[in-house]
Amino acid sequence: MLLGEAFQPFVQRSPVAVLVNGIMERVFDEDKLEELFRENAVLQYTKALTFAQCLHAMSDVVFQRSSSVGAWYQTHHDEVPVTRQALYDKLKHTDLPVPVALVQYAGRELLACLKALKVRPRSLLTGYRLRILDGNHLSGTEHRIGELRVHRAGALPGQALVYYDPQYDLITDVFPCEDAYAQERSLLTEVLERIAAGDCVLADRNFCTTGFVFGLAQRRAFFILRQHGSTLSYELQGERRSLGTDARGRRVYEQTAHLTDPTADETLVVRRITLELDKPTKSGETEIHILTNVPIKDADALKIAELYRDRWTIEKAFWHLSQDLQSEIDTLGYPKAALFGFCVALTAYNVVSLVKGAIAAVWGHAFVREELSMYYLTMEVERVTVGMQIALGPEAWTIFRTMTTEQFAETLRAVTAQMDLRKYTKHKRGPKKKRPKQISGKRNHHVSTARILAMRKRK
């Protein structure tokens, strides 16, 4: 292992803290971040406060090392050559192409590390780059901005569409929008611009529009989209064929459909996969229809239905962003600052994915999937990080930036091998017990716990 003797006590006592901080040191390399800022900034420039310093402030909040940007400044004011208000002003005027480039850069860097670790990706759709597309609306913020104080309604700072790679569990691209009321479909033109031949987009029916479907086909890309009831012109061809049942015993059918684009007088032949539901949806639907142009030799109807169910992995990703990371910072009311924070959270999610990948490479996918507790892992990282950084100093961590990708992967393996798995294992609860009938508290508003427990002993 390339790490010096100074790291050994921390590698032995808290390898996950070394793991997380080493990955962040590599991804948040100040020289690379400043280069990224110069290449993507539109109106902003660096005078005294650097983009790297803004990112460090935001990442500490996202990883819950600081409760807010203001609390971070209170602790690090001697390291930042500007006032608190200047930091806020820099954040609220963030040029959105910069955090977008940050997510893309982190996705590429960490994907290379995962491949160097020889982490076996999930086998989903051989021969295609599968990309799940979904949107996330940021939740309401505090009403700190003067114009918001007269409103009782929630203040929504924006939304974003996200591309997720389910094979490597990485966020690879993001499309932020400051207007929380804008229709997600209005962003699809930008989404199409980042599609390459051979990509396969998996998405829900909100994205099933004529422009998007034909745009993907024109780029020689593929799609698996739930059909929307009113956004496509189509004509069914031939008889619907029954192809058996899926893993949950639901009937699966297939039929050919011809889609038409009235504006361009074009026709597209697709497969229409129908899945019978066990019970109707909230809107009363008993079937869902999935459209795809993936050839049947690469994925039959049952495989397509299975892949469509896998789109929920991005919902799990958003859930982990809210549970394990502070992805939506309610004190950041300005849209650009809030979206910057969300993009930093997406980058942090990728850092966590590389941590999981390193653990899987050493201890197996089964442990990560079934036993690993992110709660205990993140709690230890929070507890150890500050003291470890004080003890080692900033210079010791630069070694993570200068390693080759292969050296970095080998270091991650060596550190991960020191983990005591018992410290990071979930405590699985048993089946829920039926809740007993409760005694009304209308007359007696409270009870003595000690007396209730004494009655248990007498029983």
pLDDT-derived band at 35, boundaries 50, 70, 90: very high
- pLDDT confidence of residue 325: 66
Residues facing residue 292 across a β-bridge:
224, 271
CA distances, 406 to each of 11, 72, 389 (Å): 20, 34, 25
- What are the residue ranges spanned by the domains of the chain? 5-97+326-424, 221-296
In order, the DSSP letters of 381-446 are HHHHHHHHHHHH-GGGGGHHHHS-HHHHHHHHHHHHTT--GGGGB-----PPPPPPPPPP-SS---
How far apart are alpha carbons 262 and 276 in whole angstroms? 30
State pTM to two decimals: 0.87
What is the average pLDDT across 185-194? 92
Per cent of the chain over pLDDT 70 is 95
| R_g over Cα of the chain | 25
Per cent of the chain over pLDDT 90 is 45
Structure tokens at 369: 């999937």
What is the average pLDDT across 227-251? 86
Mean pLDDT of all residues belonging to the chain: 88
Question: Does residue 151 surpass a pLDDT of 70?
Answer: yes
List b or e across 43-53, with b for residues whose CB sees 16 or more CB atoms inside 10 angstroms.
eeeeeebbbbb
Please, are residues 419 and 360 in contact by the beta-carbon 8 Å criterion?
no
CA–chain centroid gap for 345, Å, is 8
Q: Which amino acid is at 344?
A: V
How far apart are alpha carbons 307 and 289 in whole angstroms? 13
What is the average pLDDT across 422-442? 81
What is the average pLDDT across 11-35? 91
* Backbone phi, psi, residue 367, to 5°: -65, -45
How far apart are alpha carbons 156 and 362 in whole angstroms? 42
pLDDT-derived band at 295, boundaries 50, 70, 90: very high
How far apart are alpha carbons 257 and 406 in whole angstroms? 48
Question: Does residue 317 surpass a pLDDT of 80?
Answer: no
- pLDDT confidence of residue 250: 85
Structure tokens at 436: 């007993």
What is the average pLDDT across 88-98? 93
What is the average pLDDT across 330-344? 86
- pLDDT confidence of residue 426: 86
Question: Does residue 322 surpass a pLDDT of 80?
Answer: no
Range among 199-213, 322-336, 381-395, 420-434 with highest mean pLDDT value? 199-213
Structure tokens at 328: 């939506």
pLDDT-derived band at 1, boundaries 50, 70, 90: low
pLDDT-derived band at 324, boundaries 50, 70, 90: low
Tens-digit pLDDT profile for residues 265-275:
888 999 999 99
Which residues of 213-359 form beta strands (DSSP E)? 222-226, 233-245, 251-261, 266-276, 287-292
Q: Tokens 């009782």: give the residue.
A: 152
- pLDDT confidence of residue 109: 93
What is the average pLDDT across 320-329? 65
Q: Are strands 266-276 and 287-292 parallel, antiparallel or unpaired?
A: antiparallel
pLDDT-derived band at 359, boundaries 50, 70, 90: very high
pLDDT-derived band at 157, boundaries 50, 70, 90: confident
- pLDDT confidence of residue 40: 95
- pLDDT confidence of residue 328: 63
